[in-house]
Structure formats: C-alpha cells, structure tokens
Amino acid sequence: MNLIIDAGNTKVKLAIFKKAEIIHLETVATYDFVEAVKKTFKDFPQIKSAIISSVGSLSKEQINIMAVFCDFYELSNASKVPFKNSYASPQTLGVDRLALATAAFYYKPHSNILVIDAGTCITYDMVNDFDEYLGGAISPGVQMRYNAMHDQTAKLPLLEKKELLDYIGNTTENCIHSGVVYGVSHEIDGVIDLYKGRFKDLTIILTGGDALFLSKRLKNTIFADSKFLLKGLNYLLEYNKH
C-alpha cells in the first residue's frame, strides 16, 4: 500500500492506494496533519511507502515525522518524471503541476492532453503527443476572485460561489456571482478553444475542488476527475522507487 499526501494551502489530503485503486481518502486541516498521519498508520499498518507533495504549507518538522513510519519521498521540481519536461524554468514549476502532468502521461500516453485544475488558482497544463510537458497558464480561481473584489473595494461583500438562475444579475450580490462564475466558465472554454486550434484530438481533463461546480457550465467536452492529482502522485511514487 502507498500513502499519498497532497498538502494544499490550508488542507491536506491523505489517500491510500492499493495498487492503482484508492481505498481510503480523507481531508484534514494542516494543523491536524501529524495526528492524522499517526491514525492512518495505526489503521493501515500495511502501508510501506509514501509521497508528500506540499506547496509550502507543511513545516519540515511535520514532513519529517513520516520517517518514523515508513520510507517516504518528498516531491520536488528536481524529482524524476516519466515525460520530457520542456518547461523553460523547471526550478519554479509547482510540484502539483508535475503530478498533474504525470497523471496525464499515464492516462493516455502519446496523446495531446490539457489538464485544468480548478482550485485556489486555475492551472492549465499541456502534455503533447510526443509525451512532452510544454507548460500552460495560471489564473485566479473562483474563490480568489470573490476575495479580490471584497478586499480591493470598499463596499462589495465577500461571497461564496452559488448556482445561478440567470447570467444577468439583478442585485449587487447576483452581479458578483455572475461576473465570477460566468467569467471563469468562459475563460476556461476560451482557453480550451485556443488549445484545440493548435493540437488535434485534444483530450481535456478537469480536476480540482471546483471541477464539478464548473463542469456543467462548459460548452466543451471534458472529463471531470477530482482525484487526478492524487493518481499522478501515486504514479510518481512508483516511478521514483526504481
């Protein structure tokens, strides 16, 4: 069994893989990480290896606690990857994007795949049919746009995403919702159209915390998989064992 740890800005996902299948998944706050790890190894003593992907939210002390329980690998932008990395500044490439590119590589080898991760930020990552990672784009995520309008103005309220009945907002709150939700949706569709113009037979994967919320609003055909990054991390763990 493998333990896959994906540490975001405020939350940490812990997934247990038995071969390629997720048999357990939980999300905890960063400050509960150590206790969650202890409980995980108590409940699943068969875990032999682990990988940690952290965007910087976990301290070195929290990460190093893993050595008490099993062999673990901390993902970095210097890690081995199964594809050709053509990113011009690989030392600045986020480990989450490495994992997504890896998941794309194994999902459909020798194919053009665009992975869109709709989380705190929205990232676009392209792997082409030569198994080459090209890069992509980064833009503000859904909640970040709500936060920005509240933080950068004097009177606009802080809202959270909601379903909309009409794109024409008839209150200030509905106008904010419309601007964010339809703005993000049309951005994603527009980016997909740009990539379709360059890459034939393009497969689009949508993942991240807002994937399901956004998927029904997109005109393009996409495959929504909320566990895509975790699968990429599991592949990377296996790849770096050898």
What is the arithmetic mean of pLDDT over 215-240?
94
Dihedral angle computed from the Cα positions of residues 173, 117, 16 and 99, in that order, rounded to the nearest 10 degrees:
-150
Residue type, 29: A
pLDDT at 57 > cutoff 80: no
pLDDT of residue 125: 98
pLDDT of residue 77: 87
Please indicate if the annotation marks 8 as binding a ligand: yes
Residues 6+ apart with CB under 8 A from 111: 127, 129, 201, 203
pLDDT confidence bin for 92, thresholds 50/70/90? very high
Angstrom distance (rounded) from CA 81 to CA 104:
12
2-47 tens-digit pLDDT: 999 999 877 899 999 999 999 999 999 988 999 999 999 999 999 9
Determine whether 96 is an active site residue: yes
Percent residues over pLDDT 70 in the chain? 100
The Cα-based distances of 186 to 116, 183, 190, 192 in angstroms read 14, 5, 6, 10
Please indicate if the annotation marks 153 as binding a ligand: no
Please, are residues 36 and 12 in contact by the beta-carbon 8 Å criterion?
Answer: yes
pTM: 0.93
Closest CA to 22 of 238, 239, 171, 227: 227
Please, are residues 143 and 120 in contact by the beta-carbon 8 Å criterion?
Answer: yes
191-214 tens-digit pLDDT: 999 999 999 999 999 999 999 999
**Domains of the chain, start order:** 2-74 (3.30.420.40), 84-233 (3.30.420.40)
What is the arithmetic mean of pLDDT over 224-230?
95
Angstrom distance (rounded) from CA 1 to CA 56:
26
Q: Which of 32, 71, 96, 151 is catalytic?
A: 96
Please indicate if the annotation marks 12 as binding a ligand: yes
Chain mean position to CA 27: 14
Query: Dihedral sign, CA of 238, 240, 241, 242?
Result: positive
Angstrom distance (rounded) from CA 85 to CA 108:
17
Please indicate if the annotation marks 217 as binding a ligand: no
Least confident of 4-13, 92-101, 153-162, 203-212: 4-13
Q: Which residue in the block uniquely carries the two structure tokens 């360059």?
A: 198
Query: Dihedral sign, CA of 57, 91, 238, 73?
Result: negative
Please indicate if the annotation marks 30 as binding a ligand: no
What is the arithmetic mean of pLDDT over 138-152?
97
pLDDT at 137 > cutoff 90: yes
pLDDT confidence bin for 241, thresholds 50/70/90? confident
